[in-house]
Structure 1
Amino acid sequence: MASKKHLKDRSRKDYPFLLEYRTRWNDNDMYDHMNNSVYNFLFDSIINSYLMEYCGLHPPTSDQHPLMAHAHCDYFSAISYPKIAELCLRVNKLGKSSVIYEVALFEKDVGQVKCVGEFVHVFVDRITQRPNANGMNPQLRQGLERLVVDMASKL
Protein backbone atom coordinates (compact mmCIF):
# COMPACT_ATOMS: atom_id res chain seq x y z
CA MET A 1 0.00 0.00 0.00
CA ALA A 2 1.13 3.55 -0.65
CA SER A 3 2.44 5.82 2.09
CA LYS A 4 -0.07 7.56 4.37
CA LYS A 5 0.86 10.94 2.89
CA HIS A 6 0.18 9.65 -0.61
CA LEU A 7 -3.12 8.10 0.48
CA LYS A 8 -4.29 11.47 1.83
CA ASP A 9 -3.94 12.81 -1.72
CA ARG A 10 -6.40 10.28 -3.19
CA SER A 11 -9.34 11.64 -5.15
CA ARG A 12 -12.44 10.04 -6.59
CA LYS A 13 -10.81 9.92 -10.04
CA ASP A 14 -8.30 7.39 -8.67
CA TYR A 15 -11.10 4.82 -8.41
CA PRO A 16 -13.12 3.21 -11.23
CA PHE A 17 -16.18 2.32 -9.09
CA LEU A 18 -18.23 4.49 -6.70
CA LEU A 19 -21.16 3.61 -4.44
CA GLU A 20 -23.11 6.03 -2.23
CA TYR A 21 -24.10 5.23 1.34
CA ARG A 22 -26.44 7.35 3.44
CA THR A 23 -25.13 7.27 6.99
CA ARG A 24 -27.58 6.20 9.69
CA TRP A 25 -28.16 7.48 13.20
CA ASN A 26 -26.82 4.24 14.70
CA ASP A 27 -23.57 4.49 12.66
CA ASN A 28 -22.40 7.20 15.09
CA ASP A 29 -20.73 6.29 18.34
CA MET A 30 -20.59 8.19 21.62
CA TYR A 31 -17.90 10.47 20.14
CA ASP A 32 -20.45 11.71 17.56
CA HIS A 33 -18.75 10.25 14.49
CA MET A 34 -19.06 7.02 12.57
CA ASN A 35 -17.74 4.09 14.57
CA ASN A 36 -14.65 2.43 13.11
CA SER A 37 -16.44 -0.93 12.81
CA VAL A 38 -18.91 0.67 10.38
CA TYR A 39 -16.05 1.53 8.01
CA ASN A 40 -15.21 -2.18 7.72
CA PHE A 41 -18.88 -2.98 7.14
CA LEU A 42 -18.98 -0.40 4.33
CA PHE A 43 -15.76 -1.63 2.74
CA ASP A 44 -17.09 -5.19 2.75
CA SER A 45 -20.38 -3.94 1.29
CA ILE A 46 -18.90 -2.07 -1.69
CA ILE A 47 -16.61 -5.00 -2.52
CA ASN A 48 -19.41 -7.56 -2.38
CA SER A 49 -21.80 -5.27 -4.26
CA TYR A 50 -19.25 -5.06 -7.07
CA LEU A 51 -18.58 -8.81 -7.02
CA MET A 52 -22.29 -9.61 -7.27
CA GLU A 53 -23.11 -7.01 -9.93
CA TYR A 54 -20.04 -7.24 -12.20
CA CYS A 55 -18.30 -10.54 -11.44
CA GLY A 56 -21.17 -13.03 -11.35
CA LEU A 57 -20.82 -13.82 -7.64
CA HIS A 58 -23.96 -15.32 -6.11
CA PRO A 59 -22.98 -15.83 -2.44
CA PRO A 60 -25.28 -18.76 -1.61
CA THR A 61 -24.43 -20.85 -4.71
CA SER A 62 -21.22 -19.72 -6.47
CA ASP A 63 -18.56 -22.44 -6.82
CA GLN A 64 -15.95 -19.96 -5.60
CA HIS A 65 -16.26 -17.37 -2.87
CA PRO A 66 -13.94 -14.88 -1.19
CA LEU A 67 -12.34 -15.35 2.21
CA MET A 68 -10.92 -12.31 3.99
CA ALA A 69 -7.17 -12.64 4.46
CA HIS A 70 -6.30 -9.09 5.55
CA ALA A 71 -7.93 -5.76 6.35
CA HIS A 72 -6.36 -2.41 7.12
CA CYS A 73 -7.57 1.19 7.30
CA ASP A 74 -5.88 4.58 7.55
CA TYR A 75 -8.19 7.25 8.97
CA PHE A 76 -7.67 10.93 8.15
CA SER A 77 -10.85 12.66 9.34
CA ALA A 78 -14.27 11.71 10.62
CA ILE A 79 -17.67 11.46 8.98
CA SER A 80 -20.94 11.35 10.90
CA TYR A 81 -24.68 11.06 10.53
CA PRO A 82 -26.51 12.52 8.57
CA LYS A 83 -23.79 12.84 5.90
CA ILE A 84 -23.68 10.84 2.67
CA ALA A 85 -20.57 8.74 2.18
CA GLU A 86 -19.14 7.95 -1.24
CA LEU A 87 -17.24 4.69 -1.27
CA CYS A 88 -14.70 4.25 -4.05
CA LEU A 89 -13.14 0.96 -5.12
CA ARG A 90 -10.13 -0.16 -7.12
CA VAL A 91 -7.88 -3.21 -7.39
CA ASN A 92 -4.20 -2.65 -6.65
CA LYS A 93 -3.12 -6.24 -7.34
CA LEU A 94 -4.84 -9.18 -9.00
CA GLY A 95 -3.24 -12.57 -8.40
CA LYS A 96 -4.18 -16.06 -9.51
CA SER A 97 -6.64 -16.58 -6.64
CA SER A 98 -6.24 -13.41 -4.58
CA VAL A 99 -7.01 -9.74 -4.96
CA ILE A 100 -5.89 -6.63 -3.10
CA TYR A 101 -8.61 -3.99 -3.06
CA GLU A 102 -8.27 -0.37 -2.07
CA VAL A 103 -11.38 1.39 -0.79
CA ALA A 104 -11.62 5.10 -0.11
CA LEU A 105 -14.38 6.86 1.75
CA PHE A 106 -15.29 10.44 0.87
CA GLU A 107 -18.05 12.66 2.19
CA LYS A 108 -20.35 13.77 -0.62
CA ASP A 109 -19.41 17.24 -1.92
CA VAL A 110 -16.14 17.25 0.10
CA GLY A 111 -12.88 16.81 -1.79
CA GLN A 112 -10.58 15.43 0.92
CA VAL A 113 -10.62 11.65 1.47
CA LYS A 114 -11.78 10.58 4.94
CA CYS A 115 -10.02 7.22 5.01
CA VAL A 116 -8.42 4.63 2.78
CA GLY A 117 -8.59 0.91 3.46
CA GLU A 118 -7.04 -2.22 2.06
CA PHE A 119 -8.84 -5.57 1.89
CA VAL A 120 -7.33 -8.82 0.65
CA HIS A 121 -9.58 -11.63 -0.56
CA VAL A 122 -8.53 -15.15 -1.45
CA PHE A 123 -11.07 -16.92 -3.66
CA VAL A 124 -11.62 -20.51 -2.60
CA ASP A 125 -13.63 -23.49 -3.76
CA ARG A 126 -16.93 -23.75 -1.88
CA ILE A 127 -16.41 -27.45 -1.03
CA THR A 128 -12.68 -27.66 -0.26
CA GLN A 129 -12.26 -24.10 1.10
CA ARG A 130 -8.93 -24.00 -0.76
CA PRO A 131 -7.91 -21.95 -3.81
CA ASN A 132 -8.58 -23.71 -7.11
CA ALA A 133 -5.51 -24.93 -9.03
CA ASN A 134 -6.69 -22.85 -12.02
CA GLY A 135 -7.30 -19.74 -9.90
CA MET A 136 -10.38 -17.56 -10.20
CA ASN A 137 -13.09 -18.40 -12.68
CA PRO A 138 -12.98 -16.30 -15.89
CA GLN A 139 -16.09 -14.19 -15.14
CA LEU A 140 -14.75 -13.23 -11.73
CA ARG A 141 -11.30 -12.38 -13.10
CA GLN A 142 -12.70 -10.32 -16.00
CA GLY A 143 -14.86 -8.28 -13.64
CA LEU A 144 -11.97 -7.58 -11.30
CA GLU A 145 -9.64 -6.69 -14.18
CA ARG A 146 -11.86 -3.65 -14.88
CA LEU A 147 -10.84 -2.24 -11.49
CA VAL A 148 -7.09 -2.82 -11.77
CA VAL A 149 -5.04 0.37 -11.66
CA ASP A 150 -1.49 0.85 -12.89
CA MET A 151 0.30 1.21 -9.56
CA ALA A 152 3.52 2.47 -11.16
CA SER A 153 1.76 5.58 -12.43
CA LYS A 154 -0.03 6.12 -9.08
CA LEU A 155 3.03 6.13 -6.79
Structure 2
Amino acid sequence: MPTHSGSARYEGFGKDGKGFVSTQSGVLADSPYGFATRFEDAPGTNPEELIAAAHASCFTMALSFALARAGYNKGTLETEAKVTLDRDGDGFSITRSALDLRAHVPGISGEDFARIANEAKAGCPVSKLIKAEITLTHSLAE
Protein backbone atom coordinates (compact mmCIF):
# COMPACT_ATOMS: atom_id res chain seq x y z
CA MET A 1 0.00 0.00 0.00
CA PRO A 2 1.23 3.51 -0.71
CA THR A 3 2.52 5.84 1.94
CA HIS A 4 1.67 9.52 1.62
CA SER A 5 3.37 12.35 3.44
CA GLY A 6 3.01 15.91 4.52
CA SER A 7 5.50 18.14 6.27
CA ALA A 8 5.51 21.23 8.42
CA ARG A 9 8.18 23.79 9.31
CA TYR A 10 7.84 26.43 12.03
CA GLU A 11 10.14 29.45 12.27
CA GLY A 12 10.12 31.21 15.62
CA PHE A 13 7.95 30.16 18.53
CA GLY A 14 4.57 30.86 20.07
CA LYS A 15 2.29 33.56 18.66
CA ASP A 16 5.19 35.19 16.83
CA GLY A 17 6.17 31.98 15.01
CA LYS A 18 5.35 31.33 11.38
CA GLY A 19 4.57 27.89 10.02
CA PHE A 20 4.62 26.40 6.55
CA VAL A 21 2.92 23.16 5.55
CA SER A 22 3.51 21.10 2.41
CA THR A 23 2.22 17.88 0.90
CA GLN A 24 4.03 15.21 -1.06
CA SER A 25 1.80 15.87 -4.09
CA GLY A 26 2.62 19.59 -4.07
CA VAL A 27 -1.03 20.60 -3.62
CA LEU A 28 0.24 22.50 -0.60
CA ALA A 29 3.70 23.96 -0.96
CA ASP A 30 4.91 26.03 1.98
CA SER A 31 1.34 27.15 2.71
CA PRO A 32 1.40 29.50 5.70
CA TYR A 33 -0.09 28.54 9.03
CA GLY A 34 0.32 29.73 12.60
CA PHE A 35 -1.50 31.36 15.50
CA ALA A 36 -3.12 34.02 13.32
CA THR A 37 -4.40 31.50 10.73
CA ARG A 38 -5.70 29.23 13.48
CA PHE A 39 -7.30 31.67 15.90
CA GLU A 40 -7.70 34.87 13.87
CA ASP A 41 -8.62 35.55 10.26
CA ALA A 42 -5.15 35.69 8.72
CA PRO A 43 -4.71 34.11 5.28
CA GLY A 44 -3.34 30.58 5.32
CA THR A 45 -4.43 27.24 6.69
CA ASN A 46 -4.52 25.40 10.02
CA PRO A 47 -4.47 21.79 11.19
CA GLU A 48 -8.23 21.65 11.81
CA GLU A 49 -9.00 22.84 8.27
CA LEU A 50 -6.65 20.21 6.85
CA ILE A 51 -8.21 17.46 8.99
CA ALA A 52 -11.67 18.62 7.91
CA ALA A 53 -10.68 18.43 4.23
CA ALA A 54 -9.12 15.00 4.75
CA HIS A 55 -12.17 13.68 6.59
CA ALA A 56 -14.66 15.08 4.06
CA SER A 57 -12.75 13.69 1.09
CA CYS A 58 -12.08 10.29 2.69
CA PHE A 59 -15.70 9.79 3.77
CA THR A 60 -17.07 10.93 0.40
CA MET A 61 -14.80 8.52 -1.47
CA ALA A 62 -15.68 5.66 0.91
CA LEU A 63 -19.39 6.35 0.39
CA SER A 64 -18.92 6.51 -3.39
CA PHE A 65 -17.33 3.06 -3.40
CA ALA A 66 -19.97 1.65 -1.01
CA LEU A 67 -22.77 2.94 -3.25
CA ALA A 68 -21.06 1.44 -6.31
CA ARG A 69 -20.80 -1.95 -4.52
CA ALA A 70 -24.52 -1.68 -3.75
CA GLY A 71 -25.28 -1.25 -7.46
CA TYR A 72 -25.67 2.54 -7.72
CA ASN A 73 -23.57 4.12 -10.42
CA LYS A 74 -24.94 7.63 -10.90
CA GLY A 75 -25.35 10.63 -8.67
CA THR A 76 -23.42 13.22 -6.74
CA LEU A 77 -22.06 13.48 -3.21
CA GLU A 78 -20.93 16.71 -1.53
CA THR A 79 -19.61 16.64 2.01
CA GLU A 80 -18.51 19.44 4.32
CA ALA A 81 -16.67 18.55 7.52
CA LYS A 82 -16.54 20.99 10.41
CA VAL A 83 -13.81 20.18 12.91
CA THR A 84 -14.15 21.65 16.40
CA LEU A 85 -11.16 22.73 18.48
CA ASP A 86 -11.98 23.16 22.19
CA ARG A 87 -9.97 24.21 25.22
CA ASP A 88 -8.68 21.24 27.18
CA GLY A 89 -7.09 22.37 30.44
CA ASP A 90 -4.00 24.34 29.44
CA GLY A 91 -4.20 23.19 25.82
CA PHE A 92 -6.68 22.24 23.14
CA SER A 93 -8.36 19.11 21.79
CA ILE A 94 -10.14 18.36 18.59
CA THR A 95 -13.44 17.17 19.98
CA ARG A 96 -15.70 16.72 16.98
CA SER A 97 -15.84 16.22 13.26
CA ALA A 98 -19.31 16.98 11.93
CA LEU A 99 -19.92 15.65 8.43
CA ASP A 100 -22.71 17.33 6.47
CA LEU A 101 -23.54 15.33 3.35
CA ARG A 102 -25.72 16.44 0.45
CA ALA A 103 -26.43 13.66 -2.02
CA HIS A 104 -28.36 12.81 -5.12
CA VAL A 105 -28.56 9.05 -5.74
CA PRO A 106 -31.34 8.08 -8.17
CA GLY A 107 -33.35 5.03 -7.13
CA ILE A 108 -32.09 4.61 -3.56
CA SER A 109 -34.42 4.62 -0.56
CA GLY A 110 -33.76 6.94 2.35
CA GLU A 111 -33.33 3.93 4.65
CA ASP A 112 -30.76 2.22 2.42
CA PHE A 113 -28.93 5.49 1.87
CA ALA A 114 -28.69 6.21 5.63
CA ARG A 115 -27.41 2.68 6.32
CA ILE A 116 -24.75 2.82 3.58
CA ALA A 117 -23.71 6.37 4.57
CA ASN A 118 -23.29 5.42 8.24
CA GLU A 119 -21.29 2.31 7.30
CA ALA A 120 -19.03 4.50 5.12
CA LYS A 121 -18.62 6.97 8.01
CA ALA A 122 -17.48 4.18 10.33
CA GLY A 123 -15.26 2.50 7.73
CA CYS A 124 -13.50 5.51 6.26
CA PRO A 125 -9.78 5.37 7.20
CA VAL A 126 -9.76 8.97 8.46
CA SER A 127 -12.80 8.24 10.66
CA LYS A 128 -10.87 5.32 12.12
CA LEU A 129 -7.90 7.61 12.77
CA ILE A 130 -9.85 10.34 14.49
CA LYS A 131 -10.57 9.60 18.14
CA ALA A 132 -13.02 12.49 18.50
CA GLU A 133 -16.79 12.30 18.18
CA ILE A 134 -17.74 11.94 14.53
CA THR A 135 -21.23 12.93 13.52
CA LEU A 136 -22.96 12.71 10.18
CA THR A 137 -25.89 14.66 8.84
CA HIS A 138 -27.09 14.06 5.34
CA SER A 139 -29.76 15.05 2.88
CA LEU A 140 -30.84 13.12 -0.15
CA ALA A 141 -32.27 14.97 -3.15
CA GLU A 142 -35.13 13.13 -4.77
TM-score by length of 1: 0.34
Report the structure number with the largest CA radius of gyration: 2
Structure with the largest fraction of helix: 2
Q: TM-score w.r.t. structure 2 length?
A: 0.36
Higher RCO by CA contacts (8 Å cutoff, separation 6 or greater): 1
